């Protein structure tokens, strides 16, 4: 159908007829191009009169191509025209399933719809928790969007009293609404913890209930309604497995050639035995069609590739003809024709290679191939159901061993089951050995784990490249605080007020408890513009104390402007501290004198070497000369009347200021560059680039450009690192998709549904690891990891983070980024479909047509076909987002509303992308969505585990122990309440290096596991334990007991159906008794453009493979005919006509030589009429040895 042959290569055309009787069959010298609209592929669209191919060219009307586009898209046939559905009106999941003839697609949209409502219910249930979180004031250390998002997390719940939470006891006893609540009242978090934990447990149970109901109730309901409303070939067809591979002991035996007749007779006998209704006429006509899957030894894929080359060759020849007709310039014509001849020559060589590779398979014909399985199509649906019911136990090996003799075929037990849809088959894998497939699964599982580890290493490495090049967090030994104010135009100016500091704390962490501050850091000195203060450190280890020489009689440090207001003390309202070692400061707290409290402060950081040591020089020195500026902090304060100073109501975040508030001159920039004041130098270049964007680009030929050349190179490196990081992530994701596609192909799945399910699982695992797990594991700190596990954790940087717990800082940085990631995926996962359907694909189509490379109808139709809708990728992306939301939602309940939005947006955009921008998908069955339901308990167990850690954390969510469960938890964990309290106390007072020691870390982790038994999370602990037990029993059943117990379970179900549900088959038959017969349904399906046959040639995907098989077979027959003609053997008229006639009359011959030494032909002892009337009357063929040539003389 796809290619015109060439006499030069002895490649016969697909539409060539065999010679008349008495002539020698050779490759035709006048090939004809196929009429692609004709049923047999032979017509007069292109006339041929030479041996070089077609000699006339005909344009394919665009209307036909548009019609083909609509026919292959998700359209319905209305009055002879294919119409796209209205996505917004009367197009629910059921209608989508009807249009696509796919119950799997319908269930996907049903699932999105149900998940959206489930997330909405979960959000409503956790509104009290969200209100409590938003009402709190515990999140410090961040500003902007990160702070807003962190305020919706559990880290923000509760309020501290006015004098702060300065101990663990104060943290645990803090109040819910008012920081100064009555200690005996019921407003403390402890009193609310049980109910808030219970609401989270109910929300989780609602999510699990959706999974259970959808899997066990909704999916069967939808499948049943779909089967009743949609008639497909699978409703008439059974899949027969376990057939004998050959009959008569040899595939070339006459008995084996009668395989179809014998199998037909077998099922007719079964129907006769089942005949109870006289209306049921169990004769030969009750079997409408039998389609065999035969042994090709894995060559179908090669035949598919050959079919593509044949199609390309046909297109190349038509292109050559088009050039001859359309090109008027002789020189250009000659050049283009020569180029096209090279293309044709190359394609011919490629096809010759395939012919050589497929020579062994091409020498066989279908009736002589071994049988792998069969698809038996019955005349009515009722017959199909009756046969399935009779073989209902055949899918179990245990029951097949004792199968009734009447059900066996040629004394071999059969496995008969419901057939999948025709376009759900992977023909290239149907003949693959089952045991080899199992072995390949084991290999692919191991390789997939290795690939996931390597890709995770790549992702971590790509992100670390950008992190290494990006600006680092403050990490200096000298820190300066300055009083500033901001004018209405946004510029910073110095404060006119007196600046008095009574106490000042710099903290390495913004966590309320356990954060190390400047009172604990060894310091060298305090200093201001005019003095150095080296006061003694008190017994408590505090540097800032009442005996310090920096303090006045009021107990506070005063800026020079306080004592001499008339003098010019510009830029002198600051005080600094120098530590013995560099420190990474994240938060600050400051106490000011009540009468002159500055509302706005700026922190500066720099190496001590950048600060002048001599006071006479420092008096004119400015912090912006060599120090890094941080964002202005609004120090909202309350007055403490007892000690006459004000304290910040919340800790102030230390965030680097990238806006460069000071105006840097060229002269100061030169000094900064000489003195290595990097921050001042960078600010100058940033200001200059704002004025002149070309400053950062070469050539560097002006003083300003030469000054900033080094800065420009560093900026280019940072941008390159960012681009590399982003591109690396995209490339790694594409590599994963490509590798997983290869892995699934290597597994040789037998159906598109199986292929999709395996690919979906791989994509989901990779995406969930990269999105949810890596971000948690990489930022967590796990000391004392066993050396065996370090093989994996070391390259992935797992356990090397800075967070031992999910603290307030974790939610401010990591948690906020997770929320942003989920919100971004709402659109990044869905909008590309719209862009592909409405923008990219039309552009690609127009470009392909403009380039003019496609001229035949087949190639043009391929260009006009819409792309496939990738259900495996979309389901994987959806469940990645769903599981991520459920995993982290206990600490961030705002994620539930993000999940509801994602499902809503995905529902509508996916529906639009499928129905208006994709071609009709394969008929996926319900197994794709059934497999996804296993992700729901997995996500629920993860949620319960993480929620227990969060709700058991007494700093985040204080609550009492549950008296009933604590005893069980103590025996399970191996630690008592008293020991746990001591372990947590030791942990809070330990330094970072001490926390990494086994003596501190291990008891602390045990204490944290004991916290699972607290009132705030004991419901969740029960869910977690039940979930763990469920998975242990489930995998034990799957791995060990399923082969033994599944037949028993099936038998119990059969008894239940028999006594409680009466006759299930009878009910199904009653539904189907008024259905049309197969002949009518087949014509209806074919007219609508749906899959209608289990034959390879009727499957659009494999039509090229079928044509390539026919092409190879005819080429082999031509060579045989040549040899037979040389030996004087006449060919039978039976050779003419369709390929089926050829297959029925000719047996293969294996040629290993070129000449025949002798031959003794024998004439057939039957005539053509007898052969047509009774195929069994044909006498057995005689094989005559002619040296190295063996010929079937009957043929």
Range among 683-697, 782-796, 1003-1017 rated most confident: 1003-1017
Identify the residue with better confidence: 981 or 1137.
981
Average pLDDT over residues 929-949: 93
Strand, coil or helix: what is 126?
coil
For residue 1073, the tally of other CB atoms under 10 A from its CB is 13
With bands split at pLDDT 50, 70 and 90, how would you rate the model's confidence at 1155?
Answer: very low
Please tell me the predicted confidence (pLDDT) of residue 31: 35
Compute the distance between CA of residue 853 and CA of residue 157 in angstroms, rounded to an integer: 65
Q: Between β-strands 557-558 and 587-593, what pairing exists: parallel, antiparallel or unpaired?
A: unpaired
Strand, coil or helix: what is 923?
coil
How many Cα atoms are found within 13 Å in the side-chain-facing hemisphere of 939? 29
Range among 443-452, 463-472, 787-796 rated most confident: 443-452
Q: Is the pLDDT of residue 20 over 50?
A: no
Please tell me the predicted confidence (pLDDT) of residue 203: 95
Tens of pLDDT, residues 729-774: 777 777 888 888 889 889 889 888 889 999 999 999 988 988 888 8
Please tell me the predicted confidence (pLDDT) of residue 538: 40
Axis-axis angle for helices 871-888, 816-828 (nearest 10):
160
The DSSP code sequence of 708-736 is THHHHHHHHHHHHHHHHHHHHHHHHHHHH
Q: Is the pLDDT of residue 647 over 50?
A: no
Q: Which of 75-89, 176-190, 302-316, 1113-1127 has the lowest mean pLDDT?
A: 1113-1127
Compute the distance between CA of residue 663 and CA of residue 686 in angstroms, rounded to an integer: 11
**HEC profile of 305-361:** HHHHHHHHHHHHHHHHHHHHHHCCCHHHHHHHHHHHHHHHHHHHHHHHHHHHHCHHH
Compute the distance between CA of residue 410 and CA of residue 266 in angstroms, rounded to an integer: 9
Spell 448-478 as b/e; 16+ CB within 10 A means b: beebbeebbbbbbebbebbeebeeeebebbb
Q: What does each C-alpha distance from 434 to 437, 747, 754, 1092 come to in angstroms?
A: 5, 10, 14, 27
Whose CA is closest to 385, among 248, 283, 274? 274
With bands split at pLDDT 50, 70 and 90, how would you rate the model's confidence at 136?
Answer: confident
Q: Is the pLDDT of residue 1130 over 50?
A: no
Tell me 177's DSSP state. S
Whether a cis peptide bond, with omega within 30° of 0, leads into 699 is yes
- The percent of residues in the chain predicted with pLDDT above 70, rounded, is 76
Tens of pLDDT, residues 241-277: 999 999 988 888 889 989 999 999 999 989 888 765 5
With bands split at pLDDT 50, 70 and 90, how would you rate the model's confidence at 37?
Answer: very low
Work out whether the CA dihedral 510, 683, 479, 781 comes out positive or negative. positive
Tens of pLDDT, residues 283-296: 678 899 999 998 88
Q: Is the pLDDT of residue 1039 over 80?
A: no
Q: Which of 395-399, 557-561, 1013-1017 has the lowest mean pLDDT?
A: 557-561
With bands split at pLDDT 50, 70 and 90, how would you rate the model's confidence at 515?
Answer: low
Burial of 349 from C-beta contacts in 10 A (0-12 / 13-18 / 19+): exposed
Q: Is the pLDDT of residue 1150 over 60?
A: no
Query: Residue 151 CA to chain centroid, in angstroms?
Result: 30
Q: Give the sheet arrangement for strand 237-241, strand by strand.
A: 287-294, 371-378, 237-241, 415-418
Compute the distance between CA of residue 985 and CA of residue 983 in angstroms, rounded to an integer: 5
Please tell me the predicted confidence (pLDDT) of residue 884: 94
Average pLDDT over residues 935-948: 93
Please tell me the predicted confidence (pLDDT) of residue 222: 93
In terms of DSSP H, where are the helices of 8-143?
62-72, 93-100, 103-125, 127-135
H-helix or E-strand containing 876? helix 871-888
Burial of 372 from C-beta contacts in 10 A (0-12 / 13-18 / 19+): middle
Please tell me the predicted confidence (pLDDT) of residue 973: 86
Average pLDDT over residues 1080-1106: 83
Q: Is 893 in contact with 349 (CB distance < 8 Å)?
A: no
Q: What does each C-alpha distance from 770 to 456, 736, 888, 895 come to in angstroms?
A: 7, 12, 15, 18
CA angle in degrees (0–180, nearest 5) for 705-710-714: 120
Q: Is the pLDDT of residue 1024 over 70?
A: yes
Q: Is 538 in contact with 545 (CB distance < 8 Å)?
A: yes
What is the signed CA dihedral for 707, 712, 713, 716, rounded to 10 degrees?
Answer: 180
Compute the distance between CA of residue 695 and CA of residue 53 in angstroms, rounded to an integer: 64
- CA distance from start to end of the chain: 26
- Kindly state the tokens that stand for 614: 């001599």
Compute the distance between CA of residue 504 and CA of residue 531 in angstroms, rounded to an integer: 18
Range among 325-339, 450-464, 507-521 rated most confident: 325-339
Please tell me the predicted confidence (pLDDT) of residue 889: 94
Compute the distance between CA of residue 945 and CA of residue 871 in angstroms, rounded to an integer: 31
Average pLDDT over residues 667-679: 77
In terms of DSSP H, where are the helices of 126-183?
127-135, 144-150, 168-172
Q: Is the pLDDT of residue 625 over 60?
A: yes
Q: What does each C-alpha distance from 966 to 191, 370, 977, 1007 come to in angstroms?
A: 18, 67, 8, 12
Compute the distance between CA of residue 501 and CA of residue 648 in angstroms, rounded to an integer: 12
The DSSP code sequence of 951-967 is HT-TTTS--PBPHHHHH
The contacts of residue 60 (CB under 8 Å, 6+ apart) are: 855, 856, 857, 860
Q: Is the pLDDT of residue 723 over 70?
A: yes
Q: Which of 71-85, 348-362, 632-646, 875-889 has the lowest mean pLDDT?
A: 632-646
Compute the distance between CA of residue 87 and CA of residue 971 in angstroms, rounded to an integer: 59
Tell me 783's DSSP state. -
Please tell me the predicted confidence (pLDDT) of residue 179: 64
- The percent of residues in the chain predicted with pLDDT above 90, rounded, is 16
Compute the distance between CA of residue 1079 and CA of residue 286 in angstroms, rounded to an integer: 11
Compute the distance between CA of residue 1129 and CA of residue 770 in angstroms, rounded to an integer: 69
Please tell me the predicted confidence (pLDDT) of residue 1042: 74
**HEC profile of 27-45:** CCCCCCCCCCCCCCCCCCC
- Kindly state the tokens that stand for 874: 């979309």
Work out whether the CA dihedral 764, 769, 770, 772 comes out positive or negative. positive
- Kindly state the tokens that stand for 347: 């394609």
Burial of 733 from C-beta contacts in 10 A (0-12 / 13-18 / 19+): middle
Q: Between β-strands 500-507 and 492-494, what pairing exists: parallel, antiparallel or unpaired?
A: unpaired
Compute the distance between CA of residue 1121 and CA of residue 1046 in angstroms, rounded to an integer: 56
Q: Is the pLDDT of residue 666 over 60?
A: yes
Q: Is the pLDDT of residue 95 over 50?
A: yes
Tell me the pLDDT of the chain averaged across its residues: 77
Please tell me the predicted confidence (pLDDT) of residue 12: 37
Tens of pLDDT, residues 158-199: 887 766 676 677 778 888 887 667 655 557 888 888 999 999
479 phi and psi, to 5 degrees?
Answer: -130, 135
Q: Is the pLDDT of residue 1171 over 70?
A: no
Q: Is the pLDDT of residue 304 over 50?
A: yes
Tens of pLDDT, residues 527-579: 888 888 765 444 344 455 444 445 554 567 787 767 665 555 556 788 888 88
Q: Is the pLDDT of residue 834 over 90?
A: no
- Kindly state the tokens that stand for 1053: 């179900």
Q: Which of 119-133, 584-598, 975-989, 1120-1134 has the lowest mean pLDDT?
A: 1120-1134
Q: Is the pLDDT of residue 123 over 90?
A: yes
- Phi-psi category of 1174—alpha, beta or left, where left has phi over 0 and alpha has psi -120 to 50? beta
Average pLDDT over residues 936-945: 94
Whose CA is closest to 1101, among 300, 289, 365? 300
With bands split at pLDDT 50, 70 and 90, how would you rate the model's confidence at 114?
Answer: very high
Average pLDDT over residues 1092-1098: 86
Cα radius of gyration rounded to whole Å, the chain = 40
Residue with tokens 């938060």: 587
Work out whether the CA dihedral 1134, 1140, 1146, 1150 comes out positive or negative. positive
Tell me 990's DSSP state. S
Please tell me the predicted confidence (pLDDT) of residue 558: 80
Q: Is 931 in contact with 765 (CB distance < 8 Å)?
A: no
Beta strands in 950-1035 (DSSP E): none
Compute the distance between CA of residue 771 and CA of residue 828 in angstroms, rounded to an integer: 14
Compute the distance between CA of residue 73 and CA of residue 70 in angstroms, rounded to an integer: 5
Please tell me the predicted confidence (pLDDT) of residue 1122: 66
Compute the distance between CA of residue 354 and CA of residue 343 in angstroms, rounded to an integer: 17
């Amino acid at each position: 159908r796809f290619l015109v042959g060439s006499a030069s290569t002895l490649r016969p055309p697909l539409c060539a007829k065999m010679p008349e009787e008495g002539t020698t069959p050779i490759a035709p010298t006048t090939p004809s191009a196929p009429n692609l609209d004709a049923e047999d592929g032979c017509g007069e669209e292109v006339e041929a009169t030479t041996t070089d191919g077609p000699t006339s060219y005909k344009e394919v009307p665009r209307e036909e191509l548009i019609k083909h586009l609509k026919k292959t898209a998700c359209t319905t046939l209305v009055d002879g025209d294919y119409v796209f559905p209205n996505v917004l009106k009367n197009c629910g999941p059921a209608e989508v399933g009807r249009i696509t003839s796919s119950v799997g697609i319908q269930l996907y949209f049903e699932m999105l719809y149900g998940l959206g409502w489930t997330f909405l219910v979960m959000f409503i249930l956790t509104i009290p928790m969200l209100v409590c979180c938003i009402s709190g004031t515990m999140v410090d250390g961040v500003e902007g969007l990160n702070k807003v998002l962190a305020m919706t997390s559990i880290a923000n719940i509760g309020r501290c009293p006015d004098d702060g939470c300065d101990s663990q006891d104060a943290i645990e006893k803090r109040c819910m609404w008012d920081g100064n609540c009555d200690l005996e009242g019921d407003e403390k978090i402890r009193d609310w913890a049980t109910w808030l934990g219970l609401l989270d447990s109910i929300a989780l149970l609602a999510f699990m209930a959706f999974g259970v109901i959808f899997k066990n109730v909704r999916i069967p309901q939808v499948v049943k309604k779909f089967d009743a409303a949609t008639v497909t070939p699978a409703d008439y067809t059974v899949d027969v497995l376990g057939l004998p591979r050959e009959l008569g002991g040899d595939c070339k035996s006459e008995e084996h050639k009668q395989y179809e007749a014998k199998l037909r007779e077998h099922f007719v006998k079964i129907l006769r035995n089942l005949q109870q209704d006289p209306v049921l006429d169990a004769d030969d006509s009750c079997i409408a069609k039998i389609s065999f899957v035969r042994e090709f030894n894995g060559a179908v894929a090669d035949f598919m590739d050959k079919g593509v080359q044949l199609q390309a060759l046909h297109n190349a020849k038509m292109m050559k003809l088009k050039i001859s007709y359309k090109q008027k310039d002789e020189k250009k014509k000659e050049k283009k024709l020569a180029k096209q001849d090279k293309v044709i020559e190359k394609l011919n060589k490629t096809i010759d290679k395939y012919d050589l590779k497929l020579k062994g398979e091409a020498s066989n014909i279908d009736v002589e191939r071994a049988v792998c399985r069969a698809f038996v199509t019955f005349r009515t649906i009722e017959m199909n159901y009756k046969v399935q019911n009779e073989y209902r136990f055949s899918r179990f090996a245990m029951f097949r061993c004792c199968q009734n003799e009447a059900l066996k075929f040629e004394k071999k037990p059969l496995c008969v089951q419901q057939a999948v849809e025709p376009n759900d088959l992977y023909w290239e894998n149907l003949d693959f050995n089952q045991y080899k497939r199992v072995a390949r699964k084991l290999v692919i599982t191991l390789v997939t784990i290795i690939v996931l580890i390597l890709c995770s290493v790549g992702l971590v490495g790509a992100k670390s490249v950008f992190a290494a090049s990006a600006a680092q967090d403050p990490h200096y030994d000298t820190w300066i605080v300055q009083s500033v104010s901001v004018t209405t135009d946004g510029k910073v100016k110095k404060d006119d007020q007196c600046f008095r500091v009574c106490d000042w704390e710099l903290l390495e962490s913004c966590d309320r408890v356990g954060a190390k501050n400047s009172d604990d850091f060894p310091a060298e000195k305090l200093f201001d513009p005019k003095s150095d203060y080296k006061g003694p450190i008190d017994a408590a280890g505090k540097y800032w104390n009442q005996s310090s020489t920096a303090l006045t009689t009021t107990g506070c440090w005063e800026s020079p402007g306080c004592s001499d207001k008339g003098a010019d003390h510009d830029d002198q309202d600051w005080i600094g501290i120098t530590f013995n070692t560099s420190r990474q400061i994240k938060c600050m707290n400051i106490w000011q004198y009540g009468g002159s409290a500055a509302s706005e402060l700026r922190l500066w950081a720099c190496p001590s070497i950048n600060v002048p040591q001599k006071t006479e020089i420092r008096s004119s020195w400015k912090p912006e000369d060599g120090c890094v500026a941080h964002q202005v902090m609004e120090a909202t304060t309350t007055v403490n009347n007892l000690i006459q100073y004000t304290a910040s109501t919340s800790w102030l975040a230390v965030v680097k200021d990238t806006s460069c508030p000071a105006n840097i001159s060229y002269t100061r920039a030169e000094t900064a560059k000489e003195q290595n004041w990097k921050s001042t130098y960078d600010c100058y270049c940033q200001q200059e680039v704002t004025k002149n964007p070309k400053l950062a680009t070469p050539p560097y030929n002006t003083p300003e450009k030469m000054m900033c050349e080094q800065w420009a190179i560093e900026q280019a490196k940072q941008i390159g690192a960012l681009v590399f990081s982003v591109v690396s992530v995209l490339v790694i994701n594409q590599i994963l998709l490509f590798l997983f596609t290869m892995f699934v192909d290597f597994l040789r799945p037998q159906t598109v549904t199986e292929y999709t399910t395996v690919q979906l699982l791989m994509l989901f695992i990779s995406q969930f690891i990269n999105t949810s797990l890596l971000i948690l594991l990489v930022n967590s700190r796990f000391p004392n990891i066993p050396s065996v596990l370090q093989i994996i954790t070391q390259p992935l940087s797992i356990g090397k983070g800075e967070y031992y717990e999910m603290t307030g800082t974790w939610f401010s940085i990591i948690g906020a980024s997770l929320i942003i990631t989920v919100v971004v995926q709402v659109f990044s996962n869905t909008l590309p479909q719209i862009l592909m359907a409405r923008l990219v694909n039309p552009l690609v189509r127009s470009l392909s047509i403009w380039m003019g490379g496609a001229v035949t109808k087949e190639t043009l139709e391929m260009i006009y076909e819409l792309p496939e809708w990738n259900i495996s990728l979309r389901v994987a992306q959806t469940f990645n987002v769903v599981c991520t939301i459920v995993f982290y939602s206990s600490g961030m309940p705002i994620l539930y509303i993000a999940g509801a939005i994602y499902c809503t947006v995905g529902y509508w955009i996916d529906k639009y992308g499928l129905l208006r921008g994709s071609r009709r998908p394969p008929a996926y069955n319900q197994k794709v969505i059934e497999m996804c339901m296993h992700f729901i308990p997995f996500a629920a167990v993860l949620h319960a585990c993480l929620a227990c850690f969060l709700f058991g954390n007494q700093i985040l969510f204080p609550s009492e122990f549950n008296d009933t469960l604590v005893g069980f938890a103590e025996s399970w964990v191996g630690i008592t309440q008293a020991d746990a309290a001591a372990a947590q106390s030791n942990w809070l007072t330990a330094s970072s290096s001490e926390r990494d020691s086994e003596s501190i870390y291990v008891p602390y982790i045990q204490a944290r596991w004991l916290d699972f038994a607290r009132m705030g999370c004991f419901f969740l602990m029960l869910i977690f334990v039940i979930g763990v037990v469920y998975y242990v029993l489930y995998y034990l059943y799957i791995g060990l007991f399923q082969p033994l117990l599944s037949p028993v379970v099936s038998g119990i179900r059969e008894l239940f159906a028999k006594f409680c549900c009466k006759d299930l088959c009878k009910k199904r038959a009653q539904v189907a008794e008024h259905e049309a017969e197969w002949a009518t349904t087949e014509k209806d399906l074919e007219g609508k453009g749906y899959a209608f046959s289990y034959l390879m040639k009727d499957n659009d995907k494999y039509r090229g493979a079928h044509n390539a098989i026919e092409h190879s077979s005819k080429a082999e027959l031509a060579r045989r005919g040549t040899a037979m003609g040389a030996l004087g053997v006449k060919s039978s008229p039976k050779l003419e006509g369709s390929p089926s006639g050829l297959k029925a009359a000719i047996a293969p011959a294996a040629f290993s030589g070129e000449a025949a030494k002798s031959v003794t032909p024998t004439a057939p002892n039957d005539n053509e009429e007898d052969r047509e009337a009774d195929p069994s009357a044909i006498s057995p063929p005689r094989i005559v040895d002619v040296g190295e040539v063996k010929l079937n003389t009957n043929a």
